[in-house]
Chains A and B, each alone.
Chain A
Amino acid sequence: MKRFLVLFVPFVLASSIGGAPAWSAETETVFKFYCAQCHGLGGKGDGPNVTKDFPVTPRDFTSAKEMDKLSDADMKNVILDGGPAVSKSPLMPPWGKTLTSEQVDGLIKHLRKLCKCKGKQG
């Protein structure tokens, strides 16, 4: 049993942290399917829903300045429960009943890649 664990654990770590290419391709698909509607295919906050009627600008994920204000936990919060959960606009939808927790974790990593920033720690 112990030997099995020893063999198994490094494998899990390698496949989740080591950035298996299949996984990030999947996350990119998830981002483009759900989030790009407002945040834009490149994440700049310029999706097709953002017309002159759209009252707030969806976060530009490529802005390290804005994105550095958020910790990973803040991001998870707003993705699961929507804008109002963090006193932001209700136009940011709650995705908690739509996405799996693996998809949400993947998206957070994807947003960090887009902003090239680490975010608020803790």
Chain B
Amino acid sequence: MKSILKAALSTAFLIAAASSSSAEPAAGKAVFEAKGCAQCHYTDGPAREKTIDDQLAKKGPELWYAGSKFQKGWLAGWLADPKPIRPLKFNSLDEENADDHPKLAGDDAANVTDFLMSLTVDAVEAGVIKPKRNVKGKQIFIKKMPCSGCHQASGRKGKISGGRSGPSLVGAGERLNPDWIYAYLKNPTVFKPVKAMPTFAGILKDKDIKNVATYVSNFKAKKK
């Protein structure tokens, strides 16, 4: 009886919480479906991919934890004016990114941003990583580990260098939630059970995963 009451109360609370944070997520969800976004992106977790073939069958990255992964300001801007994130075409090693991602007009972009930002997950703990310069993280990224072999980043004088098979990390500090970077490196299979990136959890110490996450979360698009 007590537990039924509890459940009823928490449902009431959830409804109240959802309606008080304005109707945009629902409006955004409708736009997301109407514009065909769901043809290439799934938005309900947990992760579905079990095999390499599952991963290769996807036409776009999974978005079910988008609210924990992205920064809101970046997302709103990108949906209205998308620029390539992955140097190569998604799931390809021999074709370039065609720079042809669907664009959303102003209101639609704002509503879809609210919808995607509502998709958060418990696996990302808030407030763990504070972006700042981190010498140990830099050494790991550039020297000790192969990160730069697969990811672009901007170095001295803003010169971009690095590998091309992973998403570009240029400006990652403006695009990604620092705490998601750490959660992903620490526990990658929750987000991406099948991924071409090696798992570093268990190879790097927790302290060093934090160092490298701190370093990456400080990547700016432009030198300020």
Which residues of A pack against B, CB within 8 Å?
Answer: 29-30, 32-34, 36-38, 41, 47-49, 51, 53-54, 82-84, 90-98
Contact = CB atoms under 8 A, between A and B. Distances in A.
A113 to B, nearest CB: 19
A49 B164 contact: yes
A37 B166 CA distance: 9
B199 A82 contact: no
Contacts of B53: 29
Contacts of A34: 196, 198
A54 B149 contact: yes
B143 interface: yes
B164 A94 contact: no
Contact of A51 (B52, B88, B163): B163
Interface string B139-167: 00001111011100000000001111100
A59 B131 CA distance: 36
Category for how many chain B residues contact A: 20 to 34
Nearest 9 pairs between A and B by C-beta? A49-B163, A37-B165, A97-B199, A91-B149, A53-B161, A93-B146, A93-B198, A98-B199, A91-B146
A48 B93 CA distance: 6
Contact of B165 (A30, A49, A53): A49
B200 A49 contact: no
A51 B151 CA distance: 12
Given A38-B149, A49-B164, A53-B162, A94 B52 contact: no
A94 B203 CA distance: 8
Interface in B159-178: 161-165
A49 B203 CA distance: 22
Contacts of B88: 48
B198 A37 contact: no
B48 to A, nearest CB: 17
Contact of A29 (B52, B161, B164, B201): B52
B52 A33 contact: yes
A96 B203 contact: yes
B198 A97 contact: yes
B158 to A, nearest CB: 15
B198 A95 contact: yes
A53 B148 CA distance: 10
A120 B112 CA distance: 58
Given A41-B94, A54-B163, A49 B150 contact: yes
A53 to B, nearest CB: 4
B202 interface: yes
Contacts of B202: 97
B53 to A, nearest CB: 7
